[in-house]
Amino acid sequence: MIYLICGEKMERVQKVIANRGYTSRRNAEKLIEEGKVKVNGNIVKLGDKINENDKIEIEGKEICINDNKVYYLLNKPRGVISSVKDDKGRKTVVDLINANERIYSIGRLDYDTTGLIILTNDGNLSNHLTHPKNKVVKTYLAKCKGVINKEQINKLKNGIYIDNRKVDIIDFKVKRIDNQKNITFISISIIEGRNHIVKRIFESIGLLVDKLTRTNYDFLTIGNLKSGEYRRLSIKEVKKLYRN
Ligand code: URA
């Protein structure tokens, strides 16, 4: 089986132990000095560095992250659906991740949308991040057909209504205009998660989205994950997601 875990940082063993919530960093150092810590079956020394996902045993007992709660950040490719199973047998985001737990995505991206999506078995985090009161900001980069004009920019500035409900546009930037190819790249940050919301925002001002990618989810970015690659979130990142 091939594990496609990328973008992980090497960290000191005591830091990884502390991140997993097992004990303090100082106490972890003591356990390492006493020869009680094994990583992937080998006793480690103080100062050794490991991957966040390595198997750690303390006095023969494996320590897991947060009671077997798992958190993955995936760079979703095009042509993959954001659900656990598909009636039509299409590939799902869950198929891309080598996890033993029953994970699912937090929110959805369209079949043809790429980019950052979180998968977990932590229902609390999922509820937390998708609840409108927590105002989690997501940023998308849209490649639109056509060259945006002043009037369309003003419409985005003044507020867009979809199904008679105003969309909170936190920010948007026209990143690049290609007059020859007749395309505009626009990044847009929003809170809500109505279906096809970004495509509908641009459609409402007369721009058709040709390609869409989610680049940011709260403070998280794709980093150097290639399409289809994923990594685990650290406990620190999970705690930060809960802080909103
Ligand atoms: N908005 C869309 O239109 N599509 C997505 O996949 C996500 C947000």
The per-residue pLDDT for 85 is 82
The per-residue pLDDT for 24 is 60
Given a contact cutoff of 8 angstroms between Cβ atoms, the answer to whether 138 and 190 are in contact is yes
What Rg do the C-alpha atoms of the chain give, in angstroms? 21
Q: What is the DSSP string of 110-170?
A: -TT-EEEEEEES-HHHHHHHH-GGG---EEEEEEEES---HHHHHHHHH-EEETTEEE-EE
Is the minimum distance from the CB of 198 to ligand 1 under 6 angstroms? yes
DSSP run (H or E) holding 232: strand 230-232
What are the φ and ψ backbone dihedral angles of 109, each rounded to 5 degrees? Answer: -120, 145
pLDDT below 50 — which residues of the chain?
1-6
* 238 Cα to the center of ligand 1, angstroms: 23
* 145 Cα to the center of ligand 1, angstroms: 16
- CA within 13 Å, CB half, 5: 16
Burial letters 93-106, b for 16+ CB under 10 A, else e: bbebbeeeeebebb
* 209 Cα to the center of ligand 1, angstroms: 10
Write out the catalytic residue numbers: 110
**Residues in CB range of 95: below 8 A, 6 or more apart:** 80
The per-residue pLDDT for 169 is 94
Is the minimum distance from the CB of 192 to ligand 1 under 6 angstroms? no
3-class secondary-structure state, position 230: strand
Does the global pTM surpass 0.95?
no
- CA-nearest residue for atom 4, ligand 1, is 196
Given a contact cutoff of 8 angstroms between Cβ atoms, the answer to whether 90 and 131 are in contact is no
pLDDT tens digit sequence for 4-53: 344 557 889 988 887 675 666 777 899 999 999 999 999 999 999 998 78
